[in-house]
Amino acid sequence: MRYDVTLKIDYEYSQPTDNTRNLLRLLPGDIPGVQTIHDWTLALTPQPSEQAHFTDFFGNWVTSAVWHMPIEEVKIALNFQAERFPQSSLLSFATPLERMAQALAAQRGAHPGSPLHFTAPTRRAPLHAEMSAFARDQLRDGFSALDAVQAVGSALHAEMTYSAEATDVDTEAAEAFAARAGVCQDYSHIMIACLRGIGIPAGYVSGFLRTYPPPGKERLVGVDAMHAWVRAWVGPETGWIEFDPTNNQFAGADYITIGYGRDYDDIAPVRGTTRGWGSQKSEQSVDVAVVG
């Protein structure tokens, strides 16, 4: 499937701020066998005093942008073409859940793909007794780690109410879980915490999702949103799989991956600081159009 993706994010500052410094994790990269990216353009307005790219530990593309002069707004415009390849069905060689600890203990080395980066609690996905208990409640005898991921993801989907009003970008997973409400970010953090709580390494995926218009309606441009879902390691044979708890499905051809992290902090689309006292507000629009 080929896509033309456009993302616009506007930040407005209540008063001019100097030394605005942002790290953007917006540019998807090629992932062998999964996706390729072409013809990307990233425009930042006003023109930053400094702009550079580097890849972080997990291999994500990072754009560093610095404005030395006082600015009142930042406009980010990203456009790229993506090709997403269909995934082979998940014929399960996944490790039985009770053998996960052993499988993990056999892992060595700190290369970025190692599941061992994704076992420990993190700031946004801390170990939480109630979430662990919720995850345990979904388990059945003979489950593989893959079965567990699907069961926990589906159970969360059923348990939670999608609500953009219930939480904001800084809401803690525990709070969203207590309210049983939130958006993709909350769903993902809760699921990560749940999975780690039952010994399955899990991380956060940031990206885009193609959305379908209601039956009989035209597709509207710009109403899509950035998306987040979960990545879990289900054993040495199958390795990593991706599940979207917000939509109760494995991440397939409708998904375009920007990058991976242990939680939102590692892969936040925009991480920034400014020197100043004012507040800021932001708006974003996303359009994921199918090409051809």
Partner 1 sequence: MDKRTRSGAMSPLLGDYAPASGVADELFDRDGCMRPVWRPFIDMLTNLSETELRAKFERGRQYLRDAGVYFRQYSQDPLEEREWPLSDIPVLLHETEWSGICAGLSQRADLLESVMADLYGPARLLSDGHIPTQLITENPHWKRPMVGVVPRGGHYLHFLAFELGRSPDGSWLVLGDRTQAPSGAGFALENRMAMRRVFPEDYPRAHTLRVAGFFEAFRATLHRLATDNRSEPHQFGLLTPGRANDAFFEHLYIARYLGLLLLEGEDITVRDGQAMVRTIEGPVPLGLLWRRIDANFSDPLEFSPDSRIGVPGLMDAVRSGNLAMVNALGSGVLETRAMMAFMPRISELLSGAPLALPNIATWWCGDDANRVYVRDNLQRMLIAPALSVDLPFDNNSETVRGAEPELVDLLDHRAPDLVGQEAVSLSTTPAWVETDKGPRLAPCPMTIRVFAARTETGWSFMQGGYARIGPEGDATALAMQRGGSVADVLVIADRKVPEPTAPQATAPDGTGRRSVRTESGALPARAADNLFWLGRYIVRFEDAARLLRAYHLRLATTDTPDDAVLTQIAEYLEPMDIAVDEPIPRGLVQRLEAAHMCAAKVRDRFSVDGWFALTDLLKTVRQMTETAEAGDDAARAMSVLLRKTAGFAGIITENMYRFYGWRFLSIGRALERADTLAAILETFADPEAPDGALDTALEVADGTMSHRRRYALEPTHDTVIDLLAHDAGNPRSLLFQLREMQHLAEGLPGADRSARPTALVRELLPVRTGLEVGLPAETTTKALRQLRRALARMSDRLAEAHLR
Site residues (vs partner 1, CB under 8 A): 19, 21, 23, 49-50, 54, 56-58, 64, 66, 68, 104-105, 107-110, 114, 116-117, 119-120, 123, 265, 271-273, 275
CB of 115 to partner 1, least distance (A): 9
CB of 272 to partner 1, least distance (A): 8
Cβ proximity to partner 1: between 108 and 217 the closer is: 108
* Closest by Cα among 9, 59, 40, 80 to 272: 9
* Closest by Cα among 29, 19, 12, 44 to 205: 29
**Which residues sit opposite 202 in a β-bridge?**
232
Cβ proximity to partner 1: between 3 and 233 the closer is: 233
3-class secondary structure, 233: strand
CB of 249 to partner 1, least distance (A): 29
Cβ proximity to partner 1: between 49 and 132 the closer is: 49
Cβ proximity to partner 1: between 56 and 73 the closer is: 56
48's tokens: 């930053």
Cβ proximity to partner 1: between 20 and 247 the closer is: 20
Cβ proximity to partner 1: between 5 and 104 the closer is: 104
Please write down the HEC assignment for all residues of 6-17: EEEEEEEEEEEE
Position 166: which residue type?
Answer: A
Cβ proximity to partner 1: between 118 and 255 the closer is: 118
Give dist(CA 271, CA 292) in Å, integer: 35
* Closest by Cα among 158, 154, 134, 137 to 146: 154
CB of 184 to partner 1, least distance (A): 20
Cβ proximity to partner 1: between 104 and 183 the closer is: 104
CB of 210 to partner 1, least distance (A): 30
CB of 161 to partner 1, least distance (A): 28
CB of 160 to partner 1, least distance (A): 25
284's tokens: 């974003």
Q: Where does the chain show beta strands of DSSP type E? A: 2-24, 35-45, 50-55, 61-67, 71-84, 161-162, 181-182, 202-209, 226-233, 240-244, 249-250, 255-261, 270-275, 280-290
- Which string of DSSP letters, residue by residue, matches 150-169? HHHHHHHHHH-EE-TTT--T
Using CA atoms, how far residue 181 sits from 129, 149, 173, 246, 262, in Å, is: 18, 20, 10, 11, 22
CB of 150 to partner 1, least distance (A): 26
